Amino acid sequence: MKNSLKRILALAGKEWYSWIHSPAFYGITVFFLVFVSVWLYYLQRFFVLDTASLRPFFSAFPIAYILVIPALTMKSWAEEKKLGTLELLLTMPFSELELCLGKFLSSFAVLLVLLALTVPVPLSLLPLGSFDAGVIWAEYAGAVLLGASAVSLGLFLSALSKNQAAAFLGSAVVLMAVMLMNQLSQWAAVPSWFSELINYLSLSFHFESFSKGLLDSRDLAFFILTTALFLFLNTRVLIFRKWS
């Protein structure tokens, strides 16, 4: 177990090192920070709302993730296949789960950095009203859990893709679907059972309770289970490639 953890952290460290020395990291960071700021101050017109709530700010996160997460995960496996290093990785003393967890931790760590860089926004607004700190903590917890599920999904789709472009486009389309599918019941008349089904499958639907400051155990379990599910499916893809 101890050796396994060391291998996972070693792989995650290698991936992290390559990320922080990549121009893409800074491009993604600037895009994310600009997007959520423009969303809050311009599109949501926060100062016109005259309310001590950051829900308009956190409502930008599911939308931003549609482009940010594919950019973080597209090269994880697709680049390995392009460079021909995936076969080398599969022959090294790493299990498929260790490889997946190493890739996941590195991408997830980058996402955590992006989220940490948004903290000055709520801090700068706190003097302007009586904000509930507990609600803000819950909203950030929801953003972290939502990001974990989205990253694991993006890695799975990267493992299925032949190149980075396909991985990015596929992940963006799938994430757009799972983020926005709960809006379908508002756009079209659908049966109640179908509406409940698509709401349950929607990532942003389970994020809504966190954005209200509620830590619902059902939504917490959903994010943990979906993260574990896509990591498991990722290992199955690697095993298939290893023996095919």
User: What length is written for the chain?
Assistant: 244
CA angle 26, 151, 175 (to 5 degrees): 100
* pLDDT score of 9: 85
pLDDT of the residue at 220: 93
Give the mean pLDDT per block of 10 residues along the chain (244 residues). 79 85 89 90 74 82 94 82 72 82 92 94 81 87 95 93 87 91 70 77 88 86 95 90 67
pLDDT of residue 243: 66
Q: Is 32 exposed, middle or buried (0-12, 13-18, 19+ CB in 10 A)?
A: buried
What is the reported pLDDT for 244?
Answer: 61
d(CA 196, CA 38) in angstroms, rounded, equals 32
**pTM for the full predicted model:** 0.91
- pLDDT for res 185: 65
Q: What is the largest CA-CA distance in the chain?
A: 60
